[in-house]
Amino acid sequence: MQKDTVVFDIIRKELERQRRGIELIASENFTSLQVMQAMGNVMTNKYAEGYPGRRYYGGCEIVDQTEQLAIDRLKAIFGIEYANVQPHSGAQANAAVMLAILQPGDDILGLDLSMGGHLTHGSAVNFSGKLYKPHFYGVGKEDGLVDYNMLEAKAREIKPKLIICGASAYSRDWDYVRIRKVADEVGAFVMADIAHPAGLIAKGLLKSPFDHCHFVTSTTHKTLRGPRGGVIMMKKDFENPFGLKDVKGNLRLMSNLMDMAVFPGTQGGPLEHVIAAKAVAFGEILTPEFLTYQQQVQKNAQAMAKAFTDKGYQIISGGTDNHLMLIDLRNKNISGKKAEQVLEHADITANKNMVPYDDKSAFVTSGVRFGVAAITSRGMKESDMQFVVNAIDTVLMNADDEALHRKVKQEVNEFMTQFVLYPEMG
Ligand SMILES: Cc1ncc(COP(=O)(O)O)c(C=O)c1O
């Protein structure tokens, strides 16, 4: 068969784009070469509905090995009893947990999307807000911190079946103990969606949710630095306290309900090639080098936050505990949309983001979100954050000066040549 040069030429251009730019999208990262190599493998040809040792297809004895390895490594990373590595994405992982424990119309309580939450935590345009009845807590207007008083008050008033913690644009750690306490009081399950800070939690740099939250979900491609995908985890399996039954009316262990909610509940055949890549990434996370990487992520985020603060930028909550920060640009007289656009002129990639109590729409926004997981994988250290912040500030404070943007772009491209990305790819 003739090589599809059209597609491969486009892929090559994406490699060049990634190489020359500063990648600050908080949900992105650069996997290792071996993670990518593991993903492009013959297991994409294999159907394997079911789970290792109990499949609906023949010929699964080899893919069973990689899937079991991925499960075992994930359990070792977080010291947990249950892991499902089949969700195709973070959204699928959340959908499966909700399918396992909720009935349509049940009340759920999550962090408001406009305050840093995620679409799958109850947004009206998402399955979670359409199938279930969503309610939200927020962050304080003054301090930008999760308003736990509000969370507790809403939980007591609504008595939701599920309380969701975790976020897409929140730079602080969580009080899982407090959330579990009110959940127990009102008879709710707690799900922590650690898609963003999972890598930091894996290495003990942020609090662990596992002792306090019944279910923990994550993506695998952000701070965990694996292939795109999702996972569901539980510290301990348990017989469900609210008498949840399967479709045949049998009382089941949570692990059974969770497995069934992934397959056949929300997915068909698992992506065994991606699961092989998850296994490789989880193996990397178990090494001491991954601790060094995550420590550097935290140091870089703090150095970047300080550099922004020194230039008069307002970081929501005043700083960061994790790998990201959300900046309110209102005192800089530029919208998030415009900021995203002009930064792109200089090969700096970031995303506009609503800030708490934003007066602009989600399409315009007053904020921008920056994350350092990807640039840390490129090899940047604290001392490099000043260059990055200076470049961003120059572009944002001269938002209509395209000649200046071109100059900054050249400087950015030159700067990035020292952080070689995938040298093996030529
Ligand atoms: C907190 C959180 N949960 C879930 C997701 C969804 O992950 P995916 O895009 O893999 O479906 C994201 C994605 O950014 C996220 O930030």
Report the CATH number at residue 334: 3.90.1150.10
Q: Among the options 20, 47, 81, 349, which is catalytic? A: 47
Active-site annotation holds for 228: yes
Q: Among the options 19, 20, 28, 49, which is catalytic? A: 49
In the numeric block, the tokens 């897409």 are attached to 168
Centre of ligand 1 from the C-alpha of residue 218, in Å: 8
The answer on 278 and 221 residing in a single domain is: yes
Q: Do the domain assignments include residue 91?
A: yes
pLDDT tens track for 208-266: 999 999 999 999 999 999 999 999 999 999 887 777 777 787 878 999 999 999 999 99
In the listed set 285, 318, 344, which residue is the last one of a domain according to the structure? 285
d(Cα 217, Cα 232) in Å, to the nearest integer? 5
pLDDT tens track for 328-353: 999 999 999 999 999 999 999 999 99
Q: What total of structural domains would you count in the chain?
A: 2
Rg (CA), the chain: 22
Among the atoms of ligand 1, which is closest to the Cα of residue 194? 1
Tell me the β-bridge partners of 136. 110
**What six digits make up the tokens of 405?**
């943007």
The answer on 373 and 332 residing in a single domain is: yes
The answer on 414 and 366 residing in a single domain is: yes
Ligand 1 pocket: which residues have CB below 6 Å? Answer: 27, 89-91, 118, 120, 166-168, 193, 195-196, 219, 230
23 C-beta neighbours (distance < 10 Å), count = 22
Flag whether pLDDT at 52 surpasses 80: yes
Active-site annotation holds for 180: no
Among the atoms of ligand 1, which is closest to the Cα of residue 92? 11
Centre of ligand 1 from the C-alpha of residue 117, in Å: 10
For range 302-319, the mean pLDDT = 98
116 C-beta neighbours (distance < 10 Å), count = 28
The answer on 347 and 259 residing in a single domain is: no
pLDDT at 242: 76
Handedness of CA 339, 341, 346, 350 (dihedral sign): positive
Active-site annotation holds for 222: yes
Q: pLDDT class for 169, splitting at 50, 70, 90?
A: very high
pLDDT at 334: 98
Flag whether pLDDT at 86 surpasses 90: yes
In the listed set 232, 260, 285, which residue is the last one of a domain according to the structure? 285
Q: Which of 218, 139, 137 is nearest to 171 (CA)?
A: 139
Q: Do the domain assignments include residue 290?
A: no
pLDDT at 300: 98
pLDDT at 34: 98
The answer on 164 and 65 residing in a single domain is: yes
For range 168-176, the mean pLDDT = 98
Q: Is 67 exposed, middle or buried (0-12, 13-18, 19+ CB in 10 A)?
A: buried
pLDDT at 241: 74
Q: Which of 274, 285, 262 is nearest to 229 (CA)?
A: 274
pLDDT at 240: 76
Among the atoms of ligand 1, which is closest to the Cα of residue 168? 16
pLDDT tens track for 372-392: 999 999 999 999 999 999 999
Ligand 1 pocket, mutate which of 25, 113, 115, 120 (most atoms under 8 A from CB):
120
The answer on 337 and 221 residing in a single domain is: no
Active-site annotation holds for 193: yes
- How far lies 111's CA from each of 147, 302, 353, 367, in Å? 10, 24, 15, 18
pLDDT at 112: 96
Flag whether pLDDT at 132 surpasses 80: yes
Q: Do the domain assignments include residue 4?
A: no
- Which of 134-138, 162-166, 251-255, 335-339 comes out lowest in average pLDDT? 251-255
The answer on 371 and 316 residing in a single domain is: yes
- Give the rounded percent of residues in the chain with a pLDDT score beyond 70: 100
The answer on 273 and 198 residing in a single domain is: yes
| 128: containing domain | 34-285
**What six digits make up the tokens of 138?**
């927020």
d(Cα 239, Cα 243) in Å, to the nearest integer? 8
Centre of ligand 1 from the C-alpha of residue 153, in Å: 27
**What six digits make up the tokens of 307?**
């550099």
pLDDT at 176: 98
Among the atoms of ligand 1, which is closest to the Cα of residue 89? 10
pLDDT at 335: 98
Alpha-helical (H) ranges within 57-126 are 61-78, 90-101
Phi, psi of 213 (to 5 degrees): -110, 135
Mean of the per-residue pLDDT values of the chain: 97
Phi, psi of 328 (to 5 degrees): -90, 115
Flag whether pLDDT at 17 surpasses 90: yes
Phi, psi of 203 (to 5 degrees): -105, 15
pLDDT at 383: 98
The answer on 315 and 263 residing in a single domain is: no
The answer on 342 and 274 residing in a single domain is: no
Active-site annotation holds for 47: yes
Centre of ligand 1 from the C-alpha of residue 408, in Å: 31
Active-site annotation holds for 9: no
The answer on 264 and 372 residing in a single domain is: no
For range 295-301, the mean pLDDT = 98
